Structure 1
Amino acid sequence: MKLVGALLIACAQAWLIPSSAWPLDPTRHISQYAHTAWRLQDGFLSGTPSGFTQTSDGYLWIGTQGALFRFDGVRFVQWTPPSGQKLPSENILSLAPDKDGGLWIGTGRGLAHWTGREVVNFGPIARINSVVTDDDGNAWFTRSRTQDNLGPLCEAVGSALHCHGVADGLASPNAGPLAQDTAGNLWLGLTDAFARWRPEASTTFRVNALAAAKGLSGVEAIAIAANGLTWVGMNRSGPGLGLQHLVNGRLKDPVLPGFDSSKLKVAELFTDRAGDLWVGTLDEGIYRIHGDQIDHYDSSAGLTGDGINGFFEDREGDIWVATTSGIDCFRDLPVATFSKREGLSSDQASSVLAARDGTVWVGTVGSLDFMRDGHVSSILPHHGLPGQQVTSMLQDHLGNLWVGVDNSLFIYSNSHFTPVLDLEGKPTGVVQFLTESEDHTVWASPVRTAHLYRIVGFRNGRAFQELDAAQTLNSYHLSAAAGGGLWLLLPSGFTRYRDGQIDAVIQKQTASIGHVTDISEDGPDSLWLATPAGLAAWRQGTLRFLTERNGLPCSAIYAMVRDAHRSLWLYSHCGLVRIENAELERWWAHPETAIETLTLDVFSGAQPAGSTFAPRASRSPDGRLWFSNDSVVQMVDPDHLNLNQHMPPVHIEQVIAHDTLYSVGGQLRLPPHTRDIQIDYTALSFVSPQRVQFRIKLEGHDPDWRDVGPRRSAFYTNLSPGTYTFIVRASNNAGVWNDQGDVLRFVIIPTWYQTLWFRALIVLLAVSLGYTLYLLRVRQYAAAVRIRFNDRLEERTRIARDLHDTLLQTIQGSKLVVDGARDNLPDHNRTWNALNLVSEWLGRATLEGRTALESLRATEFSDLTASLRCVVEEFRASHDIEFLLSLDAVEREMNPVARDEVYLIAFEAIRNACNHSGAKRITVELVSRQDLTLHICDDGRGIPETVLQKGKAGHFGLKGIRERASRLGAKLQIASTPKAGTDISLIVPGKTIFTPQNKSTNQFWRR
């Protein structure tokens, strides 16, 4: 669908859309309705509009010469058939809804039925002029320009078509307008006649005045009134033509004062729900007939065109008019405006007074106007008004009208103005406020003077020409007080003036009020005061302010008045605000509470502004409230607000995702990688589309409802794949909510890596990898434990062998010597020799045991250099060998296990050199660079080649050195010759012996 446009405000009141909707007030002139216009040159429609209808889903459909449009109150959308389907013609002539929400479409070349899913075309080819549907849901339509002899009236039943012609009482081949009365009769206009038809009976009414036209004109419109009266319109003027109605089987001119219906060229007729007849003409705009009252509205008043093509009344009571140049909509306003267009003499109304006899007096510049029985009259300067500017007004208890004119005060009685002068015969000045106290004394407060005038009596039925400037009181406001006296607004505060005295206590209590624009007394010592900062209440010495914090729509208040139900109406900056008396009392009892109000704003017709003179607000005996704003007079009827109670239908229209348009219906599936989504929705309330409020929620994304005001699109970004439910609700201009709303369910399809199975696979792989790493770590740890265990086992085995070969052998031999000595105790020589041998062997056992303990001890220090020095010192003490040491201080941190292995290699090499080489000098060198180098050499007899290669039976020293070096991944070289001794060199890689300096990185990779 193609979006054609949004609304255009076509005139100053184009969007003064009402809160009332059902029906239009027939007592008002058409000019008092809100008028909205869409003109063809503005581009909203592609052709001249021909008619309207409203389907059961709430949409308004508009047929034009070039296309069919759907309207939701804000947007015109051109309707296009589904792919592969089409209408008989793009020239749309007539429309009608079906009972299932579909649409009957009459075109210039045939009839079509849009069922909501498909277009069904009905033949044969003809011009479809009018379509109506009966109670059974069947469509009846009239035809012209036919290419068959089937007849001008046809019925579509299902997919079948039945036409009625001469055999059924319809002699004409062509028919135009079509209407249906409450009895089920069909009325159709023919070339020079019209007929009342039903299957079993038909009556044709000839229009003799059309016979001379010879087919060039005919009956163009038929309307059936609620009272059964049949109206007939012809597109020619003249005797017996124009607008006629059927009386006793004959057409007659309607008797309307000052109106000759035969002069009209009628194009369309329509009766609304109030029973009024709307007459559309070919070139004079529209007329509305209500009883014997006639309203006229044409292009000079703002109508888009003077040629009328169709009328329609929607469910909310709005009247739609199709003209040759556009579309017009008329809506009733709860706040009526009376200006020069409605008969006032000037658009400078400064005061308004509703008299007790129902007359409404309006003071303007250049006239005193009064409205009585629906008519406006004026008293002009040349007709008796003693001046130009009418200021303040007052009606006293006798019914006399006191009027300020220019700089004087007058009493208007019996169509005569009597001046009120002071004792010196001088005028009062420009009177701003007038009031009558309980003792029936009239008081006047002039502008920019320090006088408060009291009129003290009458003489001979005329005002006694005496004024008393009782005190020098510069009063900015004046109102009578219950119990006598006056309420005055002075520069120093608000107070009561009684018996010539000012109440200083009240003046002190109300000093913070500031400027007061109006006063409403609510009983003794109880006042409501309108101010530019809100509504002030003073009761028995307590002053409180009702402001926007307490629910007041806005602060600035120009005037106020009570209605017949004691609700307080405020003429405020944001419109007319009604506060029920119960709400006011609730607020007074609980000042922190928020009140509930009804606001009639600019969309309801309110044009609030301040006024210079008083009264600014007044209530007439019929309960209507009147307000002046220095420009126009406005009226509201509290008992007939007729607020719109129609719950607006809500529809989700389309979804736009990545510039692709998706139609709604069922569950919508959006492709992978969908990130940006726009959801367009609407609510079908035509009374005041701008005041329609929306509330949305996206389940699965929004935690709660979101109030989005009048916005009709929702935008979402970065939505994750999944299933979502979008819900939209709406309220009409009167706050009636459709809580059912509309629902859209959609799914964003995940990509392959966003699917559940992929995520499950990733989790499974992660668990498997973790478990694999865990097993690997356990195996590594077990291998390390086994290595350590094997090392310990090998070390214990070596020590056990050493002990067996040395210490145990020595102890065993000592035991045999002792046993032999014990058997030869008498032989002192042998005993002495045995003891010497035992002593020698025990010394050897002590040395061998100490050596074994040294090998078990490993290092006593974390410093390898210190450990080697300690070993050398111990062997130096027990052997007569010279040691040469060259040991670097190792500053880098060493792996404890690797350090101990290096220590044990060095210990074993030094021990072997001391015990077996017969060396005189042993050199021990330790070098710490990138790697660790240990160098041990002696000048002994060396190691035999066979022992060096294969080791000595029963000894494991060389084998243990090689095994330790292998575990370290070190490079070991052992060189030995008989003359040069033995040279052992060990190079341990730095990455093995030294701990990495970047511990965090190392720990990270270990993890």
Structure 2
Amino acid sequence: MESRLRTILLFALGMLSCVPAGALDRDLTLTQFNHRTWDQRDLAPTGVESFAQMSDGTFWLGGRDGLSAFDGNRFDPLRAVEGQNLPSTKIAALLAASGGRLWVGYKSGGASLIKDGHLTNFTANEGLPEGCVHTLAQDHDRAIWAATDGGLARFDGTRWQQVPLGNGAPVLRVFVSREGTVWAVTANAVFARAHGESDFALAFEREYPGSARGMAQAPDGMLWLSEQDHGVVLFDPLRRDIKPRRLFANRQIDSLLIDRDGTLWMTGDRLQRVVLPTDGSIAGDLPVQEFDQPQGLSGHLTGGLFEDREGIVWAGTTSGIDALNRGNVVKLPLPVLEGTEKTLIAGDAGQIWVSSSRGALLQIDTDGQRSQIHASSFTAGTRTAQGAIWFGGPTGIARLLDGRLHPTPLPDEAAGHDVNAMTADRGGVLWISVDGKGMFRFKDGHWLEGLPANLPSEPALAAVADDRGDLWFGYRDDRLARITGDRVQLFTAADGLATGTSTVLHAKGTDLWVAGEKALMHFDGTKFRKLVPITCQPFVGIAGMAAVGDDLWVFRSTGISRIDSWSQYRGGSGDAQVTCKTYSAFDGLNGSPQDRRPALIRGTDDRLWIATGNGISWIDPLRIVPNPLAPLLTIKTVSYDDTYRHPVQGMELPPGTTDVQIRYAAWSMTVPERVLFRYRLDGLSKDWRLTSGERRAEYTNLGPGHYRFQLQAANEDHVWNEVGATIHFVILPKFYQTWWFRGLCVLAFVVLLLVLTRIQVRSANARLRARLEERMLERERIARELHDTLLQGLQGLILRFQSVAARIPAQEPSRAMMEKVLERADDVMIESRDRVKDLRSFNGGSGDLAQDIAATGRDLLIDARTQVRVAAHGAPRDLHPIVREEAFLVAREALTNAARHAKANGIEVDVFYDRAALRVVIRDDGNGIDPLILRAGGRDGHWGLLGMRERAKKMRAHMNIWSRVGAGTEVELRVPAGLAYRTPVRHSRWFPIPDHRAAADTRDLESTKES
């Protein structure tokens, strides 16, 4: 960018010696062009002879260095398309045709068509005449025409068809007018083919046979044709008897262009510009402005001229390319003011007066006319409220009256010192600040004595009178003084002033702006507020300010900035966050602010005048022409792993791609450095990223998936292309990133979890079974100990007591008592043997759980009027003794509760020998259980429900009790198969298999009603 800034030049087109100063009309004299060049320092191609701009904005240049695309930021040479090289690097013609087609014609012959990233070459084998392709054109039927050394040819969509023309001479130019007529120019004649006709007719014979490199149509419909060393001819294409007129007969003209404003541009030995009359009347040769390398062209012209979509005129040179665009900043051609310090004062009717440090005083009119007065060197000046103009300098002060200066010497103590600032109050008193000496007052030809009390004695650096008549003076160290009548009011940092040294003051209405080395602040009469820009550079080093309408203009080293609609910021608190737009060297501003303040003033016609080290420029705030065209956008490449691909919607990137770089371009050539971009990547983030300058987006650590890249851009006036450009692409996954692989992983994890769960359950069951076995072994050990010790010992005692009793006489009362004791001992012995037997194994009867439950039901319901049904489902299995015992006891408790408390008429007991578990279900139709009692675990003092739950918990069984008042009760006991059955249950490795045989084996063991 630095090199580009270095090559930004402004052309003052009224400076040429061939036209006397002031002889041109206002439009020609003051029309200013912002001229920019790109040369080899910017890697620009040289020898460009042809330009083309596609409908998507892509800007192509062709010449001796080949074909290049340019987006205002960088040049991208195109040598090959999808690996296929262009036939030649010497390009003579380019054409941006409809349908996104780019046609390329070569000096050595042949043509190429580039469309959608594909290259198709045409030679004589496809019907294209041999020799250089001079020009290409597209008619209203979208047919392509080629003017070649071998004749004229038309492309029918697949092949070229040669068109007979005259005697087969080379065709130098083919052009399609607005009426649809196809014009062909040979060395000797001009031929025409009207739209809808099939044959060419001779239009006229050329007076000077030879080269014809340029043809254009003016807004009035007239056609212009260059004839190299013989100027140009123009003719009416609608006349039957065409009579060409010759202009500029003595000028060398190679190519020409008529832009959208009706300005004629011509190339030859220099670049030439002619403003054509708007009414189409041309009486003779028109004024010509011309410039060459001394005026800033990058090199000798090579003949190529082109106007792009924004109205910028492009020219190719031997060293690069040049662009000329109408600018908003106009530089005046005043060499006498260059390199000098200038004092600017607004005159009447839009005029200004400029005093230079070299002793010249110039009056500059609105039409660029100037007159000069020789005067002393002035360093300050002012225009009073009454319109009087005063200047001041080391030799004194002077009033400008009737075009003459009326001087007055400074007081003796101030003589020889520069005047820092001047202003005047409403009473006509002139206030002068003299460097190093302080403040002085002047009125009616006399210097006044004394100053108001409290006014700083040091000289002020800036002075201004506001619309109320108050005087303001700026000093160093955050100090500001206001004089209202005879009263002086001082403002310091304690009042919020934070500008440092106040160098520039500007007042309008009730507003005062104070600019210093640190900040720009606004004073509304009560408080100071700092202005903080959010869309341009900080407000430091300000050299001048001016308010025009509701806008405030600020001039500093980075350019002149406009703060729009100042009134919207008035009255707030805290810092004022302001939006602004800056006009800089890119817009034609030539140079940095001069050291003398102020360097910006407002003329009486609201034009702003700017003093830089390079001269004087002006900008008209009321006639600024914004750029209404949003940038056109193109996504150029999508790259990954050093592989660059032409973007195609839905393109697939290879598996494992993580880093993607997307290059894009925006075509807005007015100020390409100020193009703003915003983009986002759907699939990664929904937030827009704002950037400028850089024309690529980089993403890292992307995963497989679908992505959509969206791009938008805005020009220098913030006109956004919100449609933008979009590219969809897919990053393919590696096998381990696919959904089916992830699904298999999830499935494998689930299966592993199930297996681990099953292992854990089996382990827990095994531990519980081990504890049950330990309990059984402990019971058997206790039973053995009781049998072998206690019972055997007790048996021995009984036998000895029997022997003792036998020796007691029968009639003795003690014998009868002994025998009764022995009978009781026998009963205890029998009962103890039964208990020992129970410890060894549950003595529930038959060993079948269902039958034992049925027998218990009969025993418990002898006196009840209750019907009991007990059924077994499935093949009976050998149950673990403790499980059988606990299950039986739970069932017995449930039957007891149903018989004693529920007053049930019917009880059903189902025993299920399932593969997964042993289930015992007891249902009754009794009164049910109160939910409060059920949640509490039973009534106070009753332990039936609690005991049932404890037994279930002890063997890791699940017990559910469902009951509702008046609807009966259902108790379900479920014991896992691994705990309940002695022998393991055979089942599927992964999932249980229903036991249809067992499920079909259902037996009603008991269906009885006791009375």
Structure 1 partner of 2:850: none
How has the CA–CA distance of structure 1 residues 422 and 334 changed in structure 2, closer, same or farther, with 3 Å as cutoff?
Answer: closer
On the 8 A contact 1:64/1:93 being kept in 2, the answer is yes
1:385 is displaced (CA, Å) by 1.0
On the 8 A contact 1:421/1:428 being kept in 2, the answer is no
On the 8 A contact 2:635/2:662 being kept in 1, the answer is yes
Distance 2:624 2:30 in 1: 17
On the 8 A contact 1:562/1:568 being kept in 2, the answer is yes
Distance 1:503 1:783 in 2: 100
Letter of the 1:556 counterpart? V
Instruction: Say which of 328, 335, 339 aligns to 1:347.
Output: 339
1:53 is displaced (CA, Å) by 0.7
String of CA shifts for 1:455-492, please: whole Å, max 9, x gaps.
31xxxxxxx5x433543663322223434463333569
Distance 1:272 1:687 in 2: 16
On the 8 A contact 1:531/1:557 being kept in 2, the answer is yes
1:315 is displaced (CA, Å) by 0.9
Structure 1 partner of 2:512: 527
Structure 1 partner of 2:447: 467
Distance 2:313 2:66 in 1: 22
String of CA shifts for 1:614-668, please: whole Å, max 9, x gaps.
5532223443211224543232221222222212122222222122223210222
1:58 is displaced (CA, Å) by 0.6
Structure 1 partner of 2:312: 318
Letter of the 1:230 counterpart? L
Is 2:355 the counterpart of 1:363? Answer: yes
Structure 2 partner of 1:181: 177
On the 8 A contact 1:285/1:308 being kept in 2, the answer is no
Distance 2:244 2:366 in 1: 33
Alignment of 1:155-170 (within 5 A): 155-166=154-165, 170=166
On the 8 A contact 2:397/2:410 being kept in 1, the answer is no
1:722 is displaced (CA, Å) by 2.4
Structure 2 partner of 1:684: 667
How has the CA–CA distance of structure 1 residues 114 and 831 changed in structure 2, closer, same or farther, with 3 Å as cutoff?
Answer: same
Alignment of 1:477-556 (within 5 A): 477-484=462-469, 486-489=471-474, 493-497=479-483, 502-503=488-489, 514-523=500-509, 526-540=511-525, 542-548=526-532, 553-556=537-540
On the 8 A contact 1:396/1:436 being kept in 2, the answer is yes
String of CA shifts for 1:390-437, please: whole Å, max 9, x gaps.
433445678665444653333445554432236889968533333343
1:310 is displaced (CA, Å) by 0.8
Distance 1:550 1:42 in 2: 31
Distance 2:776 2:412 in 1: 141
How has the CA–CA distance of structure 1 residues 507 and 50 changed in structure 2, closer, same or farther, with 3 Å as cutoff?
Answer: closer
Instruction: Say which of 297, 301, 322 aligns to 1:303.
Output: 297
The alignment's C-alpha RMSD in Å is: 4.2
Instruction: Say which of 134, 137, 146 aligns to 1:129.
Output: 134
Is 2:101 the counterpart of 1:106? Answer: no
Alignment of 1:362-511 (within 5 A): 362-366=354-358, 367-372=360-365, 374-375=367-368, 377=370, 379=372, 385-387=374-376, 389-395=377-383, 401-404=389-392, 407-413=395-401, 416-421=404-409, 429-456=417-444, 464=445, 466-471=446-451, 474-484=459-469, 486-489=471-474, 493-497=479-483, 502-503=488-489
Distance 2:590 2:739 in 1: 61
Instruction: Say which of 252, 258, 267 aligns to 1:280.
Output: 267
Structure 1 partner of 2:559: 575
1:186 is displaced (CA, Å) by 3.7
Identity of aligned residues (%): 25
Distance 1:290 1:447 in 2: 54
Find the residue that maps to 2:76 and give its secondary structure.
Answer: strand
Distance 2:686 2:214 in 1: 57
On the 8 A contact 2:678/2:712 being kept in 1, the answer is yes
How has the CA–CA distance of structure 1 residues 611 and 688 changed in structure 2, closer, same or farther, with 3 Å as cutoff?
Answer: closer
1:244 is displaced (CA, Å) by 4.6
Instruction: Say which of 725, 734, 744 aligns to 1:751.
Output: 734
Distance 2:670 2:770 in 1: 92
1:16 is displaced (CA, Å) by 9.2
Find the residue that maps to 1:588 and give its secondary structure.
Answer: coil
Distance 2:773 2:397 in 1: 128
Instruction: Say which of 685, 689, 696 aligns to 2:679.
Output: 696
How has the CA–CA distance of structure 1 residues 704 and 351 changed in structure 2, closer, same or farther, with 3 Å as cutoff?
Answer: same
Letter of the 2:447 counterpart? L
How has the CA–CA distance of structure 1 residues 431 and 782 changed in structure 2, closer, same or farther, with 3 Å as cutoff?
Answer: closer
Structure 2 partner of 1:967: none
Alignment of 1:236-255 (within 5 A): 236=229, 241-246=230-235, 250-252=243-245, 254=247
Find the residue that maps to 1:263 and give its secondary structure.
Answer: coil
How has the CA–CA distance of structure 1 residues 630 and 378 changed in structure 2, closer, same or farther, with 3 Å as cutoff?
Answer: farther
Between 1:570-579 and 1:597-606, the stretch displaced more is 597-606
Distance 1:597 1:569 in 2: 9
Is 2:60 the counterpart of 1:64? Answer: no
How has the CA–CA distance of structure 1 residues 490 and 657 changed in structure 2, closer, same or farther, with 3 Å as cutoff?
Answer: closer
How has the CA–CA distance of structure 1 residues 811 and 207 changed in structure 2, closer, same or farther, with 3 Å as cutoff?
Answer: closer
Distance 2:484 2:793 in 1: 141
On the 8 A contact 1:50/1:93 being kept in 2, the answer is yes
How has the CA–CA distance of structure 1 residues 425 and 455 changed in structure 2, closer, same or farther, with 3 Å as cutoff?
Answer: farther
Structure 2 partner of 1:77: 76
Instruction: Say which of 197, 211, 219 aligns to 1:218.
Output: 211
Find the residue that maps to 1:475 and give its secondary structure.
Answer: coil
1:823 is displaced (CA, Å) by 6.3
Distance 1:505 1:218 in 2: 76
Distance 1:501 1:808 in 2: 130
How has the CA–CA distance of structure 1 residues 755 and 485 changed in structure 2, closer, same or farther, with 3 Å as cutoff?
Answer: closer
Letter of the 2:462 counterpart? H
How has the CA–CA distance of structure 1 residues 13 and 517 changed in structure 2, closer, same or farther, with 3 Å as cutoff?
Answer: farther
Gaps in structure 1 of 5+ consecutive residues:
1-6, 18-24, 147-151, 212-216, 255-260, 457-463, 857-1007
Letter of the 1:114 counterpart? I
How has the CA–CA distance of structure 1 residues 356 and 154 changed in structure 2, closer, same or farther, with 3 Å as cutoff?
Answer: farther
On the 8 A contact 1:223/1:269 being kept in 2, the answer is yes
Find the residue that maps to 2:713 and give its secondary structure.
Answer: strand
Find the residue that maps to 2:142 and give its secondary structure.
Answer: coil
Structure 1 partner of 2:254: 267
Instruction: Say which of 122, 145, 156 aligns to 1:140.
Output: 145
On the 8 A contact 2:679/2:688 being kept in 1, the answer is yes
String of CA shifts for 1:739-781, please: whole Å, max 9, x gaps.
2322222222222222222222222222222222222233233
How has the CA–CA distance of structure 1 residues 620 and 262 changed in structure 2, closer, same or farther, with 3 Å as cutoff?
Answer: farther
How has the CA–CA distance of structure 1 residues 504 and 645 changed in structure 2, closer, same or farther, with 3 Å as cutoff?
Answer: closer
How has the CA–CA distance of structure 1 residues 87 and 817 changed in structure 2, closer, same or farther, with 3 Å as cutoff?
Answer: closer
Structure 1 partner of 2:227: 234
On the 8 A contact 1:550/1:593 being kept in 2, the answer is no
Count of residues in correspondence between the two structures:
793
On the 8 A contact 2:394/2:416 being kept in 1, the answer is no
Structure 1 partner of 2:916: none
Letter of the 2:539 counterpart? S
How has the CA–CA distance of structure 1 residues 405 and 469 changed in structure 2, closer, same or farther, with 3 Å as cutoff?
Answer: same
On the 8 A contact 1:29/1:295 being kept in 2, the answer is no
How has the CA–CA distance of structure 1 residues 344 and 288 changed in structure 2, closer, same or farther, with 3 Å as cutoff?
Answer: farther
String of CA shifts for 1:291-337, please: whole Å, max 9, x gaps.
65533221222312223321111112221111233222223332333
1:568 is displaced (CA, Å) by 1.4
How high is the TM-score relative to the length of structure 1? 0.70
On the 8 A contact 2:663/2:695 being kept in 1, the answer is yes
On the 8 A contact 2:129/2:162 being kept in 1, the answer is no
Distance 1:161 1:353 in 2: 68
Alignment of 1:981-1000 (within 5 A): none
Find the residue that maps to 2:338 and give its secondary structure.
Answer: coil
Letter of the 1:33 counterpart? N
On the 8 A contact 1:155/1:161 being kept in 2, the answer is yes
